[in-house]
C-alpha cells in the first residue's frame, strides 16, 4: 500500500491513539537515555579533563570513540536490521548499551574510559536508528512531524532533567555517579519495553533479499539514499564540533561559574521542550523544507553570536543558548521527518542503520577535527572557537542546498515509501 504524500495540509491533524501515545513516550524515553549518554560528556568535560589529567585532544578522542564505534556497529548490523522483529533487536542493543554505561561509570583512567566509550557506542549507536525505524513503521507520514517533534524533545529533556541532575551528582560525589544513575534508569525503561511494547514485525511478511550483504549493498548504493547520507553527514558536523567543548568554553572563556551550568542547561532545555512539539506540528502543516530553512537561518546567526562572545552575564548566555538550541531543533525535527519518507518498508531498518553510521562517523571526524582546532591558551581560555563557528556555518549552508535540491524528488520518494 502506498503511503499518503508527505505534503502540507490545512486539515486538522489526526489524534494519537492510546497505544500510539505510549509508543511515542517510550521511544522518546529510549532516545533520552541514548542522547543523555552522549550529552553528559559535554558538560562534564570541565570535570573529566582535570580528573583524568587529559587534554582537549584526548577528550575529543573519547567523544569521537563513541561515534566511530557506533558508526561501525551501524554498518555491520544494517544488512540484518530488517530481518528481525524490531522490538527484539531494540532490546538486544539496549541491554549492551546499559552494560557499556556501567563500564563508563567504573572507568578510572583515560584508557579505561576510552574503551568503555567504544563498547557503549557499539550498542548505543544503533538504538537511535531502531527507534526511528519503529516510528516510521507505526506512524503515517502526515503524523511523523509531530512524532519526531516529541521524540527529539528527548534531547531537550536530557538537558532539563539529565544534565543538571548529572552535574549535581558530579559536584556532590564525583563524575562517575551520573553514569551509574543513568544505567539504573535505563534498566527500568528496558523492563517497560519488554512488558508493554507489542512486536514490530509487519515488515517480515514482505519479500526479503536472500543475502543480508546484498541488502546492505543495495541500500548503500541506491541513488536516492546517497543524497540523504551526504546531508546527514553535513548536518551532524556542527553539533559534534561545538558541543564537546561548550562547557569548557562557557567556564573558561565566558566566565560562568561551573556551579551555574545546571541553570543554563535547565532553562535552555525547558525552552526546547516547549518548542519541540510546536516545531513538529509546523513541519506537518507548512512543510519540512520551509521549517528547516528557518531553523538554519536562526542556527547560523546564533552560532556566530555564541562563538564570538566575551565575558558574558548569565542571563545573556541563557538567552543566546536557548535561541541557539531552538534553531538546532528547527533543523533536526523537520529533517528527521523528511528522512522518514525516503526508504521503502523493506529497507527502513538498513537505511536507518546506515544513516546512523554516517551520522556517528562524520560526528566522530568532526570531534577529532575540533580537538585539533581548539587549544588552551596560556591564560587557560579555549582558542579558535570562532573557526569552529565558521565551519558550522559552511556545513549548514551546504545542507540547506541539498535539502532543497531533493525537494522536486519528494513525490517520487513518497511513491516508494509507506
Q: Is 140 helix (H, G, I), strand (E, B) or coil?
A: coil
The helix or strand, by DSSP H or E, that contains position 340, with its residue range, turns out to be none
294 located within any domain: yes
pLDDT digits (tens, 9 = 90+) for 251-287: 888 888 877 877 887 788 788 778 888 888 888 788 8
Residue 143 lies in a domain: yes
- Kindly state the cell numbers that stand for 273: 521542550
**Residue 3 forms part of a structural domain:** no
> What pLDDT is recorded for position 6?
44
Mean of pLDDT over the chain: 78
Confidence band (pLDDT; 50, 70, 90) for 416? very low
- pLDDT bracket for residue 4 (50, 70, 90): very low
63 within some domain: yes
Ranges 90-94, 144-148, 218-222, 302-306: which has the least confidence: 218-222
Supply the pLDDT for residue 139. 81
**Model pTM?**
0.68
Where does the pLDDT of residue 375 fall: very low under 50, low under 70, confident under 90, or very high at 90 and above? confident
| CATH code at position 333 | 1.20.1250.20
Alpha helices for 200-260 (secondary structure H): 212-221, 223-242, 246-252
Query: What is the tens place of the pLDDT at every residue in 6-56?
Result: 444 455 556 677 787 888 888 888 888 887 777 677 667 767 777 777 777
Grid coordinates representing 347 are 529497507
pLDDT of residue 298: 93
Predicted pLDDT of residue 413:
46
What pLDDT does 9 receive?
47
354-371 mean pLDDT: 77
Examine the pLDDT at 175 and tell me if it is beyond 80: no
For residue 4, being part of any structural domain is answered with no
Contact 399, 109 (CB under 8 A): no
Is 412's pLDDT higher than 60? no
Residue 156 or 382, more confident: 382
Contact 243, 130 (CB under 8 A): no
Task: Specify the pLDDT at position 301.
Answer: 94
Residues 6+ apart with CB under 8 A from 135: 23, 24, 27, 144, 147, 148, 151, 340
CB atoms within 10 A of CB 57: 13
For the chain, the domain total comes to 1
Which of 87-96, 224-233, 368-377, 380-389 has the largest mean confidence?
A: 87-96
Please indicate, yes or no, if residue 404 is contained in any of the structural domains. yes
* Residue in this structure with the C-alpha cell 596560556, named with its chain if needed: 378
H/E stretch holding 376 reads: strand 375-376
Higher local confidence (pLDDT), 203 or 304: 304
**Tens digit of pLDDT for each residue in 185-227?**
888 888 988 988 888 877 666 666 556 666 667 677 777 788 8
Please give the average per-residue pLDDT across 326-341, as a whole number. Answer: 83
Flag the least confident range among 105-109, 132-136, 201-205: 201-205
Arithmetic mean of pLDDT, 161-187:
78
Q: Which domain holds residue 366?
A: 18-201+211-416
Question: Look-up: residue for cell 582535570?
Answer: 50
Cell of 1: 500500500
**Structure confidence at residue 304 (pLDDT):** 93
Q: Is 5 within the bounds of a domain?
A: no
Is the pLDDT assigned to residue 411 strictly greater than 50? no
Instruction: Please state, in angstroms and rounded to a whole number, the distance separating the CA atoms of residues 141 and 335.
Output: 13
Pairing of strands 375-376, 382-383: antiparallel
Residue 415 has pLDDT above 50, yes or no: no
For residue 77, tell me if it sits in a domain. Answer: yes
Residue-level pLDDT at 14? 66
Q: How much is the pLDDT for 2? A: 38
The grid cell for 108 is 578510572
Q: Cα separation of 333 and 276, whole Å? A: 8
The Cα–Cα gap between 65 and 114 comes to 7
Amino acid at each position: 500500500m502506498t503511503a499518503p504524500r508527505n505534503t502540507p495540509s490545512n486539515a486538522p491533524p489526526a489524534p494519537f491513539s492510546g497505544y500510539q501515545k505510549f509508543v511515542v513516550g517510550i521511544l522518546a524515553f529510549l532516545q533520552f537515555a541514548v542522547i543523555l549518554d552522549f550529552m553528559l560528556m559535554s558538560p562534564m568535560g570541565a570535570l573529566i579533563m582535570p580528573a583524568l589529567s587529559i587534554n582537549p585532544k584526548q577528550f575529543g578522542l573519547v567523544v569521537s570513540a563513541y561515534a566511530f564505534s557506533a558508526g561501525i556497529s551501524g554498518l555491520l548490523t544494517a544488512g540484518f536490521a530488517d530481518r528481525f522483529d524490531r522490538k527484539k533487536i531494540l532490546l538486544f542493543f539496549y541491554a549492551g548499551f546499559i552494560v557499556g554505561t556501567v563500564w563508563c561509570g567504573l572507568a578510572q583512567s583515560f584508557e579505561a574510559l576510552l574503551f568503555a566509550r567504544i563498547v557503549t557506542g557499539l550498542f548505543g549507536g544503533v538504538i537511535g536508528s531502531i527507534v526511528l525505524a519503529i516510528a516510521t513503521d507505526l506512524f503515517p507520514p502526515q503524523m511523523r512531524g509531530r512524532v519526531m517533534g516529541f521524540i527529539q524533545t528527548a534531547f531537550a529533556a536530557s538537558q532539563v532533567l539529565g544534565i543538571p541532575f548529572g552535574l549535581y551528582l558530579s559536584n556532590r560525589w564525583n563524575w562517575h555517579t551520573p553514569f551509574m544513575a543513568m544505567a539504573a534508569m535505563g534498566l527500568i525503561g528496558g523492563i517497560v519495553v519488554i512488558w508493554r511494547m507489542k512486536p514490530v514485525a509487519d515488515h517480515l511478511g514482505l519479500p526479503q533479499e536472500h543475502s543480508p550483504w546484498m541488502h546492505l549493498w543495495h541500500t548503500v548504493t541506491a541513488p536516492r539514499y546517497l543524497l540523504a547520507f551526504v546531508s546527514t553527514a553535513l548536518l551532524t558536523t556542527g553539533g559534534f564540533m561545538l558541543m564537546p567543548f561548550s562547557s569548557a568554553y562557557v567556564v573558561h572563556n565566558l566566565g560562568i561559574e561551573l556551579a551555574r551550568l545546571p541553570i543554563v542547561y535547565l532553562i535552555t532545555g525547558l525552552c526546547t521542550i516547549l518548542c519541540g512539539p510546536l516545531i513538529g506540528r509546523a513541519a506537518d502543516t507548512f512543510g519540512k523544507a520551509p521549517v528547516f530553512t528557518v531553523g538554519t537561518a536562526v542556527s547560523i546567526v546564533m552560532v556566530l553570536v555564541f562563538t564570538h562572545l566575551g565575558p558574558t552575564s548569565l542571563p545573556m548566555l541563557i538567552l543566546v543558548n536557548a535561541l541557539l538550541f531552538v534553531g538546532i531543533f528547527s533543523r533536526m525535527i523537520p529533517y528527521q521527518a523528511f528522512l522518514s519518507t525516503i526508504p521503502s518498508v523493506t529497507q527502513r531498518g538498513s537505511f536507518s542503520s546506515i544513516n546512523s553510521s554516517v551520522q556517528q562517523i562524520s560526528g566522530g571526524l568532526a570531534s577529532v577535527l575540533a580537538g585539533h582546532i581548539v587549544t588552551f591558551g596560556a591564560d587557560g581560555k579555549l582558542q579558535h572557537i570562532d573557526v569552529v563557528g565558521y565551519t558550522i556555518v559552511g556545513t549548514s549552508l551546504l545542507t540547506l542546498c541539498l535539502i532543497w535540491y531533493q525537494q522536486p524528488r519528494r513525490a517520487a520518494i513518497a511513491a516508494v515509501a509507506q
